[in-house]
Structure formats: structure tokens, C-alpha cells
Amino acid sequence: MRRWGLLILVGVGLLIVPIAGRGLWFYRGFYQPPDQIPLPPFSEITIPELPVQSQETSSTEPDPLDSTAANVILIDTAHSNRFDVSELDTLTRQLSSRGASVQLLDSNASFDQLGLEGRLKFVSAYVVISPFEAFAASEIEAIRQFVERDGRLLVILDPTRSNSDSELFGFSDFSDGADISIANQLLEPHDLAFSDDYLYDLVENEGNFRNVFFDTFNESPLTDGLDIVTMYAARSVFTQAGTPLILGGETVFSSITDLSGEHTVAAASPNLRALALGDLTFLQPPYDGVTDNGQLIENIAEFLIAGEREPALVDLPFVFSGPVIVVQSDDFSLQAETLSALGAIQNTLSAAGTELIFADEPAEDVDRLVLGLFEPDPALDEFLEPLEITFPSEDPDDLLRVFGFGALDPAGIGVIGVVREEGLTTLGLFAEDEEKLVSLLESMSFDLLQGCLVKGAYGLCKVGEGDGFSSNDEFEIDLDFEEGFSE
Amino acid sequence: MTESSESISQVESKPRRRYLLLLIIPLLLGVAFAAMVPRPAVGLIYLRDAIHAFSSAEMIAQIKYAREQPEIRAVVLVIDSPGGTVIDTEAVYLELAKLREEKPVVTMAQGVAASGAYYLSVGTDYIFAGPSSPVGNVGVVSQLPPAPGVFEDLVSTGPYKLFGSARDSQLRRMEAIKQAFYSAVSLGRGDALQIGPETLLRGEIWLGGEAQRLGLVDELGSVSQAIEHAAEMARIANYQTINLREPAGLTPELLFPFFMETAEGAQTSYPRQPGLYLLWVPPSGGASP
């Protein structure tokens, strides 16, 4: 019996050994899976929502401007600019509510055959957005002079416009960046420059790393009422002596360095007349209503119309803002030569979109072209006073006095001056006699005073022989260029 | 005497043979049953394409096979992929999580393990990478839909019926997907991860060595090492390795037209269809559509 028991035991062992042997040959234990395989909380992850406006924008209606040259905003579309005019609707609405009008510079329009130099003569602000065609040196100089004469320059770049995307991920060219160098050529005289980067914030952003909050502002009318603004893919701007206006915090990085710092997205030139802005998207709905973007757009509109450009003769024929009525001295009647010269003036003004009209009585609300002789005339006094031109008295030794030129011998001189008061422009042309006045009119109409000595709002032209000129034809006159009258 | 002793010997040998037979039978049975103990295997699943509807379906079929087959004790995911669509990546990720409840899964980033491919990697138990394998690229890419418009002949019942969402909504959805991706990395890598979201979410590609230093992968190595590690985790020895593609009943790999091609037929890095992608889009060597 014991033998059988032993036999069964051995048999079972023999049965198990191969199984156990093979099992142990392959398996050295049991795998212990983790207690729990953690998964992302998919259902708890929420989609970030568009933030609401952080505060009300200005509740008061802006004061409409007078209809003068100072409220025409010229937007450049002549340099292969990558934007659609409709993208500026919010800004243009703000400008319109302030009485400003928006005009486009289009190289194909017949009106723009005058070129940028011509168009800048009659605008208060010039806006350039993402240009991809270089500006001529003469255009850059014209813009510089325009800003010098209190015009406003706004240059906007947007990094999303530097790349042209045709199809899904089918970028035909990556960051060609031509807009940066073109814009920087414009901005160089104004101590502003864009960087070839974009700003991003991975920590605190508006739905995407490239949508950056900015909450640091330097004091300026452009930053009034701003607590926080949001830019939707923005370039940084540099300035040495100018004013960085809108700056990012420590979590805002520049793509070109991947470093943080006080990156600037908007900066103004030292004279606060040129503004470089690194984003276009925030101007468009729905982003124009996010945080204080609406207030910033209002501030930009105010900036564009803030220039108080005094009329200057270099702006001819764009010194007027509407129809022009001719006012002449009672001392002379218009003769054939004068009418002919006025006809030429009419053509010149017409080309600039201004109508020349004749009336018995000067209208109160239109610009004026005043024609007179160097003789006291009570009818012209109201125009002469703001022009600051004093005619010589009957004393033969008395001299003609013109603001900025001092005292002059009136012989052979034609004087032209322009002034804007209460929204109306007065352009006065004066000479010794009607023949010389005709010569002055012709000088203005045919070559826009090219042969004259022009200084700001005043010009002196040679319109005949006189003691004030040498015998040759060159315009030579010894003048004291002090401001105001020389005693 | 001789005859009688022979007869005695015959009488004694009968029980011995019986005993021997009684021992041989269980031994044979033991050997037979032992033969039924399967040789363990480490299953290999290869991802050598973008993650799209076809490649993800094939991966899922292999994962299910690995889960159902007891001899498959561990799985090694061999990756060389720039990622792919969000939905297909997430589908595979969730299947891997289910597999990991039963069997260890190890990733070998043999080539690229970028974006969605890295998403899958962090959903495994251990990550190997080649010393110079591009790893990371955490983030989402997409093309925004067109702005809503109305057309004369193409009509719909809602402003977003045609394109699905507003442009801005698409951007925000990307952010939610990115958060899920980051969460997956954070959960998968745990304390090993040496960088925070501000660095990880820049979407950078790191080489294997850097990735190991930053905690994006566990170890630099090869497919063999990954297999050995998977076997160790499963506590098996003398195992076999099986490419799970054929056992899972899949046909030979077919080239799925996921990427856009140039007019000359050169493949670009850009997907054909608009959508949301966990995809690395490297420059295509000048080959743009």
C-alpha cells in the first residue's frame, strides 16, 4: 500500500516537473500592472473663451473736427500692402465719428498720379500697413518732411502678414520679411524699428500662445485709459530716444531670442508724431472689443487727427479743404490777363479736387483766395491781419513787411501767404500792380512757386524789376531770416 | 536451477515494468502538458507612418491582439512617426492605456517620436530613444477654417454648418487639445519630467540625449534593449519576439496618401486634409505644394 502511495506521489511529481520546468524556464514571476493607468481629464478641460471688454470705452461723443486738411487720413494701398481696407473698419468708424475722412493712396488711381509727395500735402495722417513694395527715396523724404510739418505717421506690421499661405500648410514662402525692411526704411528717420519676430506668452495668454496680454504702459495720450490690451500675433518694436508705449511682462517672449523682457509692441517717435504698431488683428472684430483694445483704437484715432498742421506753401495746391472763393482788392478790376491767370489757377486747383468760385460777396464758410495790391485797402484788412503782411504806406521810404522775412523793398516783389483760421484757409497774393500780380498768379499756377523763395506759409517771388532785386534774372535778395518783423 | 532462477527473475521484472510504466505515463503527460505552456512573447508594434485613420486602425488591431493573446506578455512600440491627426492619436492612446492594465508596454523611439507619436510614447510604461532620435514637439497645429460666408448655390442651415466652427473657436479648441496633450505628458512622465509647461509647450524637438536629460524619455537604447526591458517588466525569459502585424491579420503595409505631394510627385510634410493635428511639420526641403 505504501509502495502505491509512493508511486502516485512520484507519478504526480513526474507530471508536474516538466510543466513546472517549462514554466520556470519562461516565467519568472507575475507582472504587476499599475493600480491605475492615469488618463488626462479630457472632459474637464475647457475651451478658453474670448475675454470680455475690461471697461467701457469713452462714453462721450468725440467732437467732430472742422472739415479741413487736418482731418484727412491717407491709407497707403500703393505699396503691395497685405491687408484689406475692411480690416480697418473699426478704426475708420472712430475716425468718421470725429469728423475725419479716410482716403486711399492707390497707385492705379488717376488722382494719385500726383504721387505720394503730392497726396501728403493735404492729409493730417498717413497710415502704412504691411508694405511689400519698397518706397522710393523721394517718398521716404516726403514722409519725413510730412511728419516734420506735424503730420502723423502710423506704420502697422503684423507677423501673420509676413508669410503668405496659399493652401493648408502650403506656405509658399516662409517669413520673407520684406515688409520689415521696407517699414524700417520709413521709420528710420523717426527712431523706430520693427524686429523680425513675434511675441508670445506660454503662461498667461488669450487662448493661444501668440495672443499676448500687455499691461504695462508708458504715459501718453495713446495709452490713456488702458489697463490691459491684447495683441493677436504681434511684432516687437524698438526705439532709442522715442517712447515705448505698450510693453509686455516677464512671461512675454520674443521668438527671435526666446528671451523675456519688456518687449514693446507699440512705440512712438521722440516727437510723438510717428507710431509703430506691431499688430493689425486687434483692430478687427471680435478682437477690437477684447480687454481695452477698443480704447486703444479710440486713442489711435485721436492720434491720427491730433496733428495741427499749419498750411505751408510747399503744400500747394493742397492747402484748401473745399471750394475757394476769389476775393480781390476794390482797387482793381479783373482784366483779361488776370482772368487768364486765374483760369490757370482754376485748372491747378481742379486737379487737386478744389473748386475755384467767384462771387460778389465773400462767403463766410469757404476758403479764400485773396488778390491785392500793395495799397491800403480796408476791404482786405480782415485778411491781411491774420496773414501778418503789412503794406508800405504812401511814404516812399516805407517798406513792405512780411512775417518771417522782415522789411522789404516792395519793388518787383510778389508776396504770397497762407493762413488757416477757424477752419478756413486764406491764401493771399499781393504785388505792386496788377501786371505783377498776374505774374505772381502764373508763377503759382504753372510751377507752384518753384522759382520763388518760400519759407513756411510765406513766399516771395520775383515778378518784375525793382530795387529789391539785382539786374540779372536770378532771385537774389538780401533778407533777414528772423522770425517776425524786423524793426 | 537455471530455469527456476530465470522464471523467478521474470516474475520479479513484471511489477518493475509496471512501476516504470506508471512513472513514464505521468512523465509523458507532464511533458505533454508542459508543451501546452506557451512560450512567452514580446509583441512588436511598428509605427512607421503618420498617425491617420489607417495606421491607427492597424495599431489598434495589433494592440487588441496583444491584449487577447496570453503568450504576448509585453509589447514594444517601435516608433518612427511625426505624429498625425488628433482623433487617431487619442484613439490609439486610449487603447494603449487599456493594454497597460494587463501587460507592460515599452516605447522605442527608433526614428522620430514627435508630437502625436510622442503623445503615444508617454502613454507607455517606459521610453527608450535613439541618441539622436527627434523627440517632443508637444503641441497642436491646424489650419483655420474660412470666415463664414453665404453663397448663391451652396446653402446651409447655420453659419457654421459648412465649416464646423468659427475661426476663433478653432484656435481655442487647439488650446484645449494642447492642455490634454500636456496633461498626458505630465501624467506619463511624472517626476521624471525636468521641464515645466513654459518650456515643454514651446513645441521644441529635442534629440534623444537631450530628451533623456530633460526627462522626456527614460533611457537611450535600441530595439533589443527595449525588448529586454519589456521582458524584464513582464518577468519572462527565453521569450520570443513577434511582429504583431501578421498575427493580427493585417495585410502588408500600404502607403496611405496622408501627406500632400508637389506637382512633381515629391512628398511634403503637410497633410492633405484640413483639420486638427498633433503633427511635426518640418521643412520639406523646399518642396512646397
Tens of pLDDT, residue by residue over A135-155, are 999 999 999 999 998 899 999
Helix (H, G, I), strand (E, B) or coil at A366: coil
What pLDDT sits at residue A423? 75
Strand partners, A402: A389, A406
For A143, A331, A384, A395, the CA distances from A377, given in Å and listed in that order, are 40, 8, 10, 16
Lowest-confidence segment of A73-82, A256-265, A391-400, A404-413 by average pLDDT: A391-400
pLDDT interval class at A111 (50, 70, 90): low
Q: Which of residues 43-72 of A touch B (CB under 8 A)?
A: 45-50
Asked whether residue B101 carries a pLDDT value surpassing 90, the answer given is yes
**Cell 510627385, residue?**
B265
Q: What whole-number distance in Å separates Cα of residue B91 and Cα of residue B55? A: 11
For A387, A398, A452, the CA distances from A392, given in Å and listed in that order, are 15, 5, 21
- Give the mutation candidate from B100, B183, B199 for the A interface (greatest A CB count, under 10 A): B183
Strand bridging mode A453-455 / B205-206: unpaired
For the segment B36-45, the average pLDDT, to the nearest whole number, is 95
For the segment B89-107, the average pLDDT, to the nearest whole number, is 97
What pLDDT sits at residue A69? 47
pLDDT interval class at B72 (50, 70, 90): very high
- Give the mutation candidate from A163, A164, A169, A173 for the B interface (greatest B CB count, under 10 A): A169
Of B30, B184, B237, the CB nearest to A40: B184
Angle subtended by helix axes B167-189 and B86-100, to nearest 10: 20
Question: Residue type for B95, please?
Answer: E
CB A234 within 8 A of CB A157: no
What pLDDT sits at residue B8? 60
Residue-by-residue DSSP string for A391-457: ---SSTT--EEETTTEEE--TTEEEEEEEEETTEEEEEEEESSHHHHHHHHHHHHHHTTTTSEEETT
Find the farthest-apart pair of alpha carbons in chain A and give their distance in angstroms, rounded: 164
Rounded to the nearest angstrom, the minimum Cα separation between B247 and chain A is 21
| The three cell numbers locating residue A91 | 478704426
Fold of domain B37-279: 2-enoyl-CoA Hydratase; Chain A, domain 1 (3.90.226)
Q: What whole-number distance in Å separates Cα of residue A123 and Cα of residue A321? A: 10
Angle subtended by helix axes A293-304 and A89-97, to nearest 10: 60
How many helices (H) does chain B have, and how many strands (E)? 8, 13
Q: What whole-number distance in Å separates Cα of residue B247 and Cα of residue B111? A: 24
What pLDDT sits at residue B40? 96
Contact at CB, B141 and A47, closer than 8 angstroms = no
- Cα dihedral value A409, A411, A414, A417, nearest 10: 30
For the segment B25-41, the average pLDDT, to the nearest whole number, is 91
Asked whether residue B229 carries a pLDDT value surpassing 90, the answer given is yes
Asked whether residue A195 carries a pLDDT value surpassing 80, the answer given is yes
What pLDDT sits at residue A38? 92
Phi/psi for B174 (5° steps) reads -55, -40
Lowest-confidence segment of A118-132, A182-196, A335-349, B116-130 by average pLDDT: A335-349
Chain A's closest residue to B187, CA to CA, is A38
Please provide the average confidence, as pLDDT, over all residues in chain B: 90
What pLDDT sits at residue B286? 44
Asked whether residue A382 carries a pLDDT value surpassing 70, the answer given is yes
Q: Does B266 touch chain A (CB under 8 A)?
A: no
What pLDDT sits at residue B287? 41
Q: Does A259 touch chain B (CB under 8 A)?
A: no
Chain B's closest residue to A31, CA to CA, is B234
Phi/psi for B244 (5° steps) reads -75, -5
pLDDT interval class at B7 (50, 70, 90): low
C-alpha gyration radius of chain B: 28
Rounded to the nearest angstrom, the minimum Cα separation between B2 and chain A is 30
Asked whether residue A470 carries a pLDDT value surpassing 70, the answer given is no
Asked whether residue A67 carries a pLDDT value surpassing 90, the answer given is no
Chain B's closest residue to A200, CA to CA, is B202
Domains and CATH numbers, chain A: 69-166+175-304 (3.40.50.880), 313-462 (3.30.379.10)
**How many CA atoms within 13 Å lie on the side-chain side of B288?**
15
Higher-scoring residue by pLDDT: A200, B161: A200
Higher-scoring residue by pLDDT: B277, A324: B277
Q: What whole-number distance in Å separates Cα of residue A392 and Cα of residue A401? A: 8
Asked whether residue A170 carries a pLDDT value surpassing 90, the answer given is no
CB A66 within 8 A of CB B268: no
What pLDDT sits at residue A99? 86
CB A358 within 8 A of CB A422: no
Strand bridging mode A152-156 / A453-455: unpaired
Q: What whole-number distance in Å separates Cα of residue B64 and Cα of residue A377? A: 106
Phi/psi for A351 (5° steps) reads -60, -25
Higher-scoring residue by pLDDT: A480, A405: A405
Of B168, B183, B273, the CB nearest to A40: B183
Phi/psi for A322 (5° steps) reads -170, -160
pLDDT interval class at A52 (50, 70, 90): low
Lowest-confidence segment of A4-18, A43-57, A331-345, B155-169 by average pLDDT: A43-57
For the segment A377-400, the average pLDDT, to the nearest whole number, is 79
pLDDT interval class at A176 (50, 70, 90): low
Asked whether residue A344 carries a pLDDT value surpassing 90, the answer given is no
**What does the domain layout of chain B look like in residue ranges?**
37-279
What pLDDT sits at residue B14? 73
What pLDDT sits at residue A164? 57
**Cell 493677436, residue?**
A232
